[in-house]
Structures are given as C-alpha cells and as structure tokens.
Structure 1
C-alpha cells in the first residue's frame, strides 16, 4: 500500500499539476484514488464518502475532487442522472469553475469528460479520457473511469487496449502501479488471452495480495477455462485477503458460487450466496450479481423464490434508472422471478417508451439488442420457449453490446440453450444440441454443459 500521500508539490513532481492551493486537499485526493483502485472504503480514512467530505472542507472548489466525485456518480449503475436537475446544475457550475485562469488544461479536459458523461455520452467521455491518457499516461483516474465505462458499454477490445497503451509507463516506483497490472489482467481475460491474464494478475497480487480486481480477473480466467476446482480452492484460501474490499466483494462471491453451480453443487452455491449477498450488506449495487446467480439456478430448476423476494425489495426505488441496459436486464430478471408481472410490464414500458430521460446510446442499444433480451425474459417466464429462441438467435452475436463481462453475459447464452431445449419445435431442439456442441468445443471442461447435453439427448430420444 502507498502511504506517502502526495501534496501539491509532490503531484507536480509526479507530472500532474493540480490547481488547488491546498496540500491537504491534494493528499485526500490521493487517498481517494487509492481507495478506488483497491475497491475499498478504508476504515482508516472513513471510506471514500468521508474522505471526499474532508477534501471539500480543505478546498470547496477543488476541481479534481469534484471530477472524482461526479465521475463515480455518473458510472454508478443504480441511478440515471440525466433527469436529476440538481446534479446537472452542479456539472454546469463545475464547467464554469473549469474556465478560471488557474485551472490547468488537464483538469479542464477531465471536466469535459464529466460533462459528456452527465449528458449520457459515455462514448464521448471515453474519447476524452483516451486523449488525456495520450498526454498523461500515469493518470489513474482517467484510466479507471474509462475501464469502468467500457465495461458498462460492452466495449471489450477497449478494456484491454486502454490499459495496454499506458502499461509500460507504470514502473515499480509509480504509486498504485500494481493495481494497473490487475486492470491489464481483466482486459486480457475479456479478450480471451487467458495465459497472459493469469500472469498479469499474479504480478499484481505479488505486489498487493489484497488486490481484489486481480483476484477477480483470475476468477474469470478459471471460469472461462473450466478450472472450477482451482477457483473454489483459491477463493476459499484467500477470502481474508479480498473480503475487506467492500466495493467488489459480492462480485467475487458470485464467481465462487458460479463454480459450484457448474459442478452441480447447488447447496454450496446457495451457502455462498447467503454469505455474500445479504441485502443489508450488499445493497443495490449487488443486484446484477444476485439476479444473475439466482437466474442461473432457476435455469437448472432450483427454487429460489424466497431469495428472489429479497432481491426484488432492492428494486423499488430504481424502476426508472434506465442508464445501463445491463443493469435493467437484471432488474427485470428480479421482477419476473418474484412474480411481479405488473411491475415488470411497467418497467419495460418506461425503458422503451421514452417516458423517462435516457441517452441516445441507451435508446440505440435498447432498440438493437435490449428490447429483444427483455422480451425473451418475459417469454421464458410465460413458458413461451419458442419465442425466446426466435428473439435471441438473431442477436446472439450482439449480446456484448448490453455491457458486462463475458462471464456475466453467459446467463443469456444459457437462457437461449435451455429455451431451445424446452421449445416444442423440433428445429429448436436440434438448435439446442448445435449450441451445446459449440459450447463443449470452446469449454471442454464444463460439467454444466455435460448435464445440458445429457438432458438434450434424453429429450430428443423421447
């Protein structure tokens, strides 16, 4: 961990000129960056919220403090800020503040990125973050925000290339350099470069054994390569290292539980679910992982009705937060699985009708991919399995556009396969076997795939 928090002069020596006159604000900004890359609200500093409060007490007009705060808000999956007038007004004030004489060009570019994000133009924000990194490759905030955004946008190549383009600058003497190797590992894994991903993750963990993002990247590798026993053993032995990283802990528990589902050990999967997804602990941010896990269990005919009610209860105040379609899909899973059909109908209507402010990009993805996915979820709930197949097959290779990771989107692949198996149409049942053959070829060690092949064979012979 990096302890020599940088004051104004130390930041300037590092190559980043902060316009704030407050050394204390500059140090607290450094502390916040460290908490962000660690995915940890560090109790020693009171977490990010308390650190941010102290930062603004030291300098209320601290440009990069506001950029940090608003960047995290824009990329929070549980709110749509397009219709939030107070937030939009704050961004306008920040933009005006960025035009003062003391503000540096680097800081002004960061404000431009925030302005784009606040308008829902995350692609524009990513372009600015890229421009920033061309000039300032050691800008960990631009690097982290761009990776978050590319993840939610489903821009898989960019997850890798944004980090690869600056990695050589992050030498061992640079604060937080180990965490950048963890970011690199995730980008490599998402682009199917598994051996390289494991090496980068191992390098990061050799520097910071508590780097949850690196452990999480290893978890992705093991899932995609079918090394479930290795993943189970690793997370069991290292839980004490990453479980304090509260911003991402529930997601690592998700990976751990998915391994058990793959093995057909549903009771162990549920034990981990209860351990890592308690609503009072995980909160709304865990909904996508909770919904995805329970939905996978449902596709294997495991009753999770009690658990679904708890997840549904997290959704009430977020029915119109249409900003990331990936999040909306999982909210819909929860509504349908909790038998809240009227709310599910209202939710999909608000998503597609334009009744709440949404970005042009969101509207584009809903039209091209999201609407069909949501209709397929409804059709599956209603037992119209042939409709599910007809809705998902045309967009099978566009599912990346809804965002998330390869592992997380796999629940939609499973939905298609199971629906094809259950469809009354003979062609769909043959399609199921076709898709399962593909899955077996690409994931040779997958007990889940083997179980589905067996079920498909039994159905076709009857």
Structure 2
C-alpha cells in the first residue's frame, strides 16, 4: 500500500502517479493554474483511480456552470466504474459518494461526507479544502471555522499542508469577524507556504473589513509571487487591491487594474464576472464613469440567463445586464430565478431567499425605481449570506441597498443599515461610509455636498 504526501493510504500503484497526485493536491490547495493538467497526468497513468475521477467531477461542479454538470456526472460514472476495477480504500469511496450526493442536489450532503472523512482522517488536507470550498459557496462561515478548528491539532509543523490549513483558518476567522486572529493566522500561513494565495487574500479581507486600505495595499504590494501562479483566483486578488484603491479615492488606479489585470482575459467564469460587475457597480455608485466596460460583460451574461447553478452568480449576471440596460435579458433571468425558486432542491431555496427579492431589487435599481429597489433589497438583506461568497463580495449589495434608500429619501432606514454595516466592520468608518453619512446629512439639510458622488 502506498501513501500520499499527507500520509493517507492511496490506491495508486505507480510511483510517478503518486508523485503527480501529490502535486495535484498541493496545486489545489494553492489554487494553482496547473492543477487540472496534473490531475490529467494522474488519470493517464492510472485510469482506474476512482478518487481522481471523483475529484475531477468536484472541480467541474465548483465551476458553477450548467453545461459542465454533465461532464461532472460523467466523471462520477467513471469513478463508480473504477471502484469495481480497483481496490479503492473506504476513504476514497467516500469521495465518490460525496460527489454523488452533490450531483443529486445536496451540497450539504457532500459536506457531511467530507466531515466523515475528516473524522477518520483529519490529516487529509484534500477533504479539508473541499469542505472549506463548498461551505464558502454555501455561505457557511461558522461551519468553515468549526471544520478547520477541530482538525488543527492533527497538523503538526511537519505536515505538508499546515500552511494551507492556516490560510483556511485565517479566512474562516475573518468571516466570523475575528480580525486580529485572522491576520496572525494568514501571515503564519504565508510564512509556511509562500504560494498560499488563499491565506494572503484572507489578510487582504481583514484590511477591507477594518477600513484600512492603505495597510492593505502595503500588505499586497511586493507579494505578487504569492498569487502569480494561480488560476483565475489571481484576478480576485487584484480585485481586492482595486477595492483598496477605490476606498482611497484613487479611481484611475482602479480602472487601470480593471483593464490590465481583473479583465485582462475576458473570461466567462462566474467568479471573474462577479469581480468585474461588482467593481463597476461600486465605481458607478461613486459617480465614476466606467465607459463602455459594461458591454463586454453584458454580452457574456446575456448568454448565462438560463444557468441557475448559483444565485451568487445569477445576481452578478443580473448586475451586468442592468448596468448595460438590457431589459430583455434581465427579464429572462428574473423569470428563471422565480421559476427555480419554486423547486424543492437545496440550491432552489437560495433562489427563493434571498434570490427573488434581491433580483427584483437590482432590476428596480437599474431602472432608477429607488423606492422599490430599497424595499426589495432591504427584504433580501437578512438572507444574503445564504447566497454564498464573502463579506467583501456581498458588500456590493449592501452598498446598493443603502444608496437606493438614500436616493428614495429613506434616510433614517439607510442610515440604520449604514450603522449596522459599520458595526460589522470593526466599527470603523471606510471611505464609502464617510461619503454616505455626508449625503444623509446633506439630505437632512446639514450642509452642501456638491462634491459628493452624483447619482
């Protein structure tokens, strides 16, 4: 019996396959662009490696695209066939089962399988990271933290994934608002694993949530090697840097990063679309002309209206469609979200809450019907974490809600949300908050605010 780099029994028979598998897992932990190629090498060497096929299917599901679900199902079929042809371990069989329930519409069921794997194999960093990734999609911040913290004692200083585990812990700490601990854990992660882009980005999140953009820029500047090797996650780290420039009022720097890094490759990956659409929306809320940048995004999003894998993706597609004033595509997407909200599946419940109200609010905001926008967005607000993503990513919906309230004249309600937002961000006032407080004061007759962002 051979063992992988995390000291887990593995049903691979050839040393070169084990080596490629170890590199695949480490690549996944580091968000490395080369990971799919490495996995392909494993399956070429040993095509009956069921765990490899199961992980391949999981990678496809995590991409959140309707047309790739069939590819993921084919990987599951191949994995089940491989189980009959090889001596897979019980741990490996559990991965195949996890993919199966995930494909059946129960991502929380897949999480339960990963947790069962970690019960018996806490040092299995692959299960740890998949659990973390899926909980992130589900918006389960407290679950992310619980899962990581219960296996922390099993990761000694000689464990090959200790740095990556600390990076996941840092992010979970930040998402549960333990900002000081999160920064310490993220820095430790990068010391141990210099290519841990997740840990590096967790510290960037801390600076975002504590209204310290200047310190955030200082943290990211000079550490580009920590994310240069990444897949499209590298665009997200550049997005964080752009947010910091935006908070400092440096719009030219934001637009430059948008053009040269964030959308340097005009992909249709929903994560890249969410980076771009949310950044353009933030810019427009500050009264900054983004030119024709909505057009490229809306062309892509008009072709994604029937997707329906993730409400997080759908809402960002909708943002592009309303940003570019495409009522036909907007209506198609709204109708599909409403239809999916009637289903009984787990993700369908998220289409229902917060999806329907949030989508209607975004449509109304794009049409300058600010009272309706505020009513719907405020109604969706309590459930927005169920849409998945991070506090920083979902903050664009907070900003739109607050701005809709101000524009509709609901100053007290908008201020209450602004107060709540600030309380959740270490009680500190960022550039957005300061500008909106000035707008509210102006609306109450406090002082002239002609230099503040235009509607």
1:9 aligns with 2:7: no
Contact 2:186 2:203 in 1 (8 A): yes
Distance 2:354 2:2 in 1: 49
CA shift for structure 1 position 123: 0.5
1:53 aligns with 2:40: yes
Corresponding residue pairs, total: 443
* 1:408-460 deviations in Å (ceiling 9; x for gaps): 11111111110000004xxx222122223334455323122111111111122
Equivalent residue for 2:413, pick from 431, 445, 452: 431
Question: Are the structure 2 counterparts of residues 107 and 77 from structure 1 closer, same or farther at C-alpha, using a change threshold of 3 Å?
Answer: same
Name 1:5's counterpart in structure 2: none
Secondary structure of the structure 1 residue equivalent to 2:288: coil
Distance 1:245 1:101 in 2: 33
Question: Are the structure 2 counterparts of residues 242 and 49 from structure 1 closer, same or farther at C-alpha, using a change threshold of 3 Å?
Answer: closer
- Where does 1:73-88 land on structure 2 (aligned, <5 Å)? 73-79=60-66, 81=68, 84=70, 87-88=72-73
Distance 1:407 1:218 in 2: 12
Name 1:308's counterpart in structure 2: 294
Secondary structure of the structure 2 residue equivalent to 1:323: coil
Question: Are the structure 2 counterparts of residues 445 and 321 from structure 1 closer, same or farther at C-alpha, using a change threshold of 3 Å?
Answer: same
* 1:266-322 deviations in Å (ceiling 9; x for gaps): 222112212222252655241111111111112222222411112223335433221
Contact 1:150 1:158 in 2 (8 A): yes
Contact 2:58 2:72 in 1 (8 A): no
* 1:90-115 deviations in Å (ceiling 9; x for gaps): 42342343355722111111100010
Secondary structure of the structure 2 residue equivalent to 1:445: coil
Question: Are the structure 2 counterparts of residues 279 and 268 from structure 1 closer, same or farther at C-alpha, using a change threshold of 3 Å?
Answer: closer
- Where does 1:364-403 land on structure 2 (aligned, <5 Å)? 364-403=349-388
Contact 1:130 1:162 in 2 (8 A): yes
1:286 aligns with 2:272: yes
* 1:143-182 deviations in Å (ceiling 9; x for gaps): 1111111111111101111111111111121112211111
Q: Could you tell which deviates more after superposition, 440-449 or 379-388?
A: 440-449
Name 1:145's counterpart in structure 2: 130
* 1:22-72 deviations in Å (ceiling 9; x for gaps): 33222211111111111112xxxxx22322222122111111111221111
Equivalent residue for 2:406, pick from 417, 421, 446: 421
Secondary structure of the structure 1 residue equivalent to 2:170: helix
Task: Give the ranges of 4+ consecutive aligned residues of structure 1 lying more than 4 Å apart after TM superposition.
Answer: none
- Where does 1:182-261 land on structure 2 (aligned, <5 Å)? 182-261=167-246
Equivalent residue for 1:346, pick from 327, 332, 343: 332
Distance 2:56 2:318 in 1: 29
Question: Are the structure 2 counterparts of residues 50 and 414 from structure 1 closer, same or farther at C-alpha, using a change threshold of 3 Å?
Answer: same
Distance 2:340 2:314 in 1: 15
Equivalent residue for 1:412, pick from 367, 391, 397: 397
Secondary structure of the structure 2 residue equivalent to 1:292: helix
Name 1:25's counterpart in structure 2: 17
Distance 2:227 2:385 in 1: 28
Name 1:3's counterpart in structure 2: none
Name 2:98's counterpart in structure 1: 113
Contact 1:322 1:351 in 2 (8 A): yes
Distance 2:369 2:351 in 1: 21
Equivalent residue for 1:263, pick from 236, 248, 255: 248
* 1:308-350 deviations in Å (ceiling 9; x for gaps): 1122233354332211111111011111112222111112222
Distance 1:134 1:375 in 2: 43
> CA-atom RMSD, angstroms?
2.2
Equivalent residue for 1:276, pick from 261, 284, 290: 261
Distance 1:104 1:358 in 2: 36
Equivalent residue for 1:454, pick from 438, 445, 452: 438
Contact 2:357 2:379 in 1 (8 A): no
Contact 1:276 1:282 in 2 (8 A): no
- Where does 1:165-176 land on structure 2 (aligned, <5 Å)? 165-176=150-161
Distance 2:226 2:121 in 1: 32
Unaligned runs of 5+ in 1: 1-7, 42-46
Unaligned runs of 5+ in 2: 447-455
Name 2:428's counterpart in structure 1: 444
Question: Are the structure 2 counterparts of residues 131 and 163 from structure 1 closer, same or farther at C-alpha, using a change threshold of 3 Å?
Answer: same
* 1:206-263 deviations in Å (ceiling 9; x for gaps): 1223321111000000010111100112222222432332331111111111112222
